Amino acid sequence: MSIDLSIMNYTGYYVKPVMKIKGKYGYRVELRYGDGTVKTQQKAGFTTKREANSARDITLAELHKGTYLLFQNLTVDEFETYWLEDVFAMSDVSFESIRTYRYVIKNHILPYWGKRSLVSITGADVKRLYDIVSEKSRSVAGLLKTVVNTSMKYAVYIKAISENPAQGVRLPGKKDMGIHTRNIDVTKTLSEDEILRLIEASKDTPIYMQVLFNVLMGLRRSEIIGVKYSDVDFIEHKLRVERQLGIDKDAEKEKLQPKTYTKQEIDLKTRSSHRILPIPDLVFEAILEQRKIYDRNKSRRQHGKYVFQDLGYICCSSYGRPRSRNYHWKHYKKLLKDTGLPDIGWHDLRSSYCTLLLKNDFSPKAVSRLMGHSKEIITADVYGDNRQILVDYDYISKITDYMDAVLPDDKAGGVACTDPLDIVIDVEEYLKPVQPDGQNII
């Protein structure tokens, strides 16, 4: 269904007297526009004339106060589909965000509310849905809350509903402290020894650089495949994170080169994702070696059917083409199996990097900047004794008092940098060599 928003711009109205409509009573509302056109809405189905007149009086009052609902017959399915495809997807958001919102609407909103009228949804309905989804996945429930609240705000704006039923409804079992939190499950992260085993095992695989960028620098997978040699400061040993590769929702697929649709250079996830990171020595040396391979491939593939594409990507094929976001998958899963490491997700390596820094007393503020998150506090039980470290993401100044109250005291000799650029991550200080059986060498 396509919602005609021009209906909102009426300049006058007229409510006709109650009349017989299909054996019952009702009335018609005429919305009049500046160009002389008239759009009619019918209100029918009343058993008695008195009931119809009472409803007509309410409609007149709503029109007078400007609270008259223009899209009263919309179902949740019709509205959410319209809002997603014609409003949200047309705004300045990434393809990944659109795909995530589409997943939430299709799998968690429409199965419960799809056929219901939008105006019938209450705060109790919203709370019930939050509870159901939270039992399955807390993270999905968080996404659901964002989608419901945002779309319902738009429904109020276009006068499809009078008020937002999601306003003030919270997820279950979470105190509202005005702060967003995300918990790191350390059972899904690698220990220092396991990280080193993964790094060593990945050296002879095509994803060695991707592993290093993830587990030792905390880059997201779409950021990793977008890193270029031009982003590296070879003097100061620093990396500028400036782009990611993905789908540009504004690009026309048929006009793009083959196999490039999912590898378009797009802006980063948030403003805080733009960051400058210190490069550990191990990673820096690997970049230098990878550059030698890049130059050799460039030199030997200047002619022929497939000419080297000098695009400058560090993680690329032997022909210079950037890797896809899922290229690492089969290699990574094989690595975990061959080394006997826990079968954790690729993104969990990023969490491993975060907990690794926290365990080694890096400043929470510095870690937050290095990770490139915004508007969040991340909690992680990294000590195994039920204490939690809370890491401020972006809005440190607004919650300083809160952090002072909950953060554990700094250990003696801990890193106390307030600027993440002051950190020099010496991997060898906290990643000791291990023997093949996984035991530390003393």
Within-domain flag for 160: yes
Do 61 and 36 share a structural domain? yes
Q: What's the chain's Rg over C-alpha atoms?
A: 28
Within-domain flag for 36: yes
Within-domain flag for 295: no
What the block records as the tokens of 180 is: 């967003």
**Average pLDDT, rounded, for the chain:** 81
Q: Which domain holds residue 145?
A: 78-110+118-171
Within-domain flag for 87: yes
Separation between Cα atoms, residue 188 and residue 266, nearest integer Å: 30
Q: Do the Cβ atoms of 145 and 104 come closer than 8 Å?
A: no
Within-domain flag for 90: yes
Do 82 and 12 share a structural domain? no
Do 166 and 98 share a structural domain? yes
pLDDT tens digit sequence for 38-97: 888 888 989 999 999 999 998 898 888 888 888 878 899 999 999 999 889 888 778 888
Lowest mean pLDDT across 10-14, 219-223, 240-244? 10-14
Three-state DSSP class for 297?
helix
pLDDT tens digit sequence for 97-124: 888 999 999 999 999 999 999 999 999 9
Residue from 318, 292, 256, 249 nearest 101 by CA: 249
Number of domains in the chain: 2
Within-domain flag for 206: no
The domain spanning residue 144 has which CATH number? 1.10.150.130
Within-domain flag for 70: no
